Amino acid sequence: MHITTLRTGQVWNSYVVAGSKIHLTAGAISLSEAPIWGDAHGFFHETVLQEGATYQVQRSGWLLIKASKNTEFLAESPEPASWRRLFVASKRSFQRLFSLTAKKFLHHKAL
């Protein structure tokens, strides 16, 4: 967990992982996630949060936070165990995709 303080008009830009949470303890912010295809270029879907709000990051990528008042927020990353589960699930999906592609290729080549 990391507490960040911003003054009115300041901006915080950081790479965050999916499942991270932003807890706004004071002030007001507008928050934008970068699109998947552009990462740090062309932030969109601005979400306004007021004091006491919590936001969960949907996917890993760049996050832009603009303070509209003096602000304090807590950035909380998911536990490492969830990263391991995600890695194992991704590895299985990749292996399944690779085996299906290899079977198609070998079948096509045999014809």
Give me the pLDDT at residue 9, please: 94
Q: What is the dihedral sign for C-alpha 44, 15, 22, 8?
A: negative
Query: Using the 8-state DSSP alphabet, how is residue 30 labeled?
Result: E
Residue with tokens 């934008």: 32
Q: Which residue has the higher pLDDT, 35 or 55?
A: 55
Portion of the chain with pLDDT greater than 90, in percent: 41
d(CA 98, CA 95): 5
Which residue in 81, 91, 94 sits closest to 19, CA to CA? 81
Each residue's pLDDT tens digit, 40-76 = 555 567 899 999 999 999 888 889 999 999 999 999 9
d(CA 82, CA 95): 20
Q: What is the mean pLDDT of residues 20-39?
A: 84
Give me the pLDDT at residue 100, please: 63
Give me the pLDDT at residue 2, please: 77
H/E stretch holding 55 reads strand 54-56
Give me the pLDDT at residue 106, please: 59
Portion of the chain with pLDDT greater than 70, in percent: 69
According to CATH, the superfamily of the domain at 2-78 is Jelly Rolls (2.60.120.10)
- Give the contacts of 55 (CB within 8 A, at least 6 positions apart): 21, 22, 24, 31, 47, 49
Per-domain residue ranges of the chain:
2-78, 80-111
